[in-house]
Structure 1
Amino acid sequence: MKAFPLYILVLVLVVTSSCSRDNHDKLPLDKNIKQVIFFSEENQYEHEAAYYDALIELKKEYPNEMENLMVLSEKEYFDDFDIPSGPALIVIYKEEIMVKINGDVSKDQIFKPVSQAFSTSKPLKAN
């Protein structure tokens, strides 16, 4: 009976180790809304201040549109959206990227294209 917990532990390890990281879950994106996704790199926080400022301002101006903001730090999702590194931000609507911002930019360089995307249904030129 003392070996039973050990048996359970080994079974759990075997089952979880057989899961592949290549089969990561798809993001739960609602195609009927404009989805804002912020890509954060854990070791690049000092470069993300402008993004945080812009996100706070966008949340104040567009609370409904920013309600479903996603913040991702897993590298596999960076690859899914062709983001070389963080910080980065995209606005996606109906499986089309409307805005793509990457790297060191100002708060206004983030705020303006995202706010324009909220008021249009056409893709904007990516940065």
Structure 2
Amino acid sequence: MVRLRLIIALIPIFLLLMTSCSKSEEIITNYPFLQKKDENITLLFSDEHYISAEGDYYDALLDVKKKYPEKIRSFNIIQSSDRDLVRHYQIEEYPTLLVIHNDLITIRVEGALKKYEILTMLEEGLLQK
């Protein structure tokens, strides 16, 4: 009887884990740029309401790309209307910059920041590897 209750209690947890894994796999399948292995994938989440705060992000990304071309080969702009990626990466603030390496977020920078602040976080995160 106790085993049956335990099994019944574990079924929802198992189902939740299974659906979250399949959702993650679906996201990666639907976005080919997320399929790169052993390479940094850089995503800048953008929203037209916060466009004025994004200039420093673009400038910082271009500087880092120029200084460390092997660390940031390209970057992708993701619009806030792309609800799947926004939910998947739990984006709550714009702009948000993510650097992902082998499916792990290695750098996360959020909100209206100055270029030097963004550069500092990017360089520290990229040079730790």
TM-score class, shorter-chain normalisation, is 0.5 to 0.7
Structure 1 portions without partners, runs of 5+: 1-22, 122-127
After TM superposition, the score normalised by the length of structure 1 is: 0.67
Q: Kindly tell me: are residues 35 and 79 of structure 1, through their superposed partners in 2, closer, same or farther at Cα, counting changes over 3 Å? A: same
Q: Quote the Cα distance in structure 2 between the aligned partners of 1:34 and 1:53.
A: 18
Counterparts of 2:91 and 2:61, CA distance in 1: 19
Q: Is the CA contact (8 Å cut-off) linking 1:89 and 1:101 kept in structure 2? A: yes
Hey, what does 1:94 align to over in structure 2?
102
State the partner residue of 1:19.
none
Greater Cα radius of gyration, structure 1 or 2: 1
* Equivalent residue number for residue 85 of structure 2: 77
Question: RMSD in angstroms over aligned alpha carbons?
Answer: 1.9
Identity of aligned residues (%): 24
The letter of the residue matching 1:81 is Y
Deviations 1:92-115 (A, max 9, x none): 112211111111111122111212
Instruction: State the partner residue of 1:125.
Output: none
Q: Which runs of 5+ in 2 are unaligned?
A: 1-25
Which one has the bigger helix percentage?
Answer: 2
* TM-score of the two chains, using structure 2 as the length reference: 0.67
Counterpart among 6, 28, 34 of residue 33 in structure 2:
28
Contact 1:86 1:103 in 2 (8 A): yes
Alignment of 1:44-123 (within 5 A): 44-73=50-79, 74-121=82-129
Q: State the alpha-carbon separation in 2 of the partners of residues 81 and 44 from structure 1.
A: 18
Question: Runs of 4 or more off by more than 3 Å in structure 1?
Answer: none
8 Å contact 2:94–2:112 — kept in the other structure? no
Partner residue, 2:23: none
Task: Give distance in 2, aligned partners of 1:57 and 1:27.
Answer: 25
**Secondary structure in structure 2 of the residue aligned to 1:28:** helix
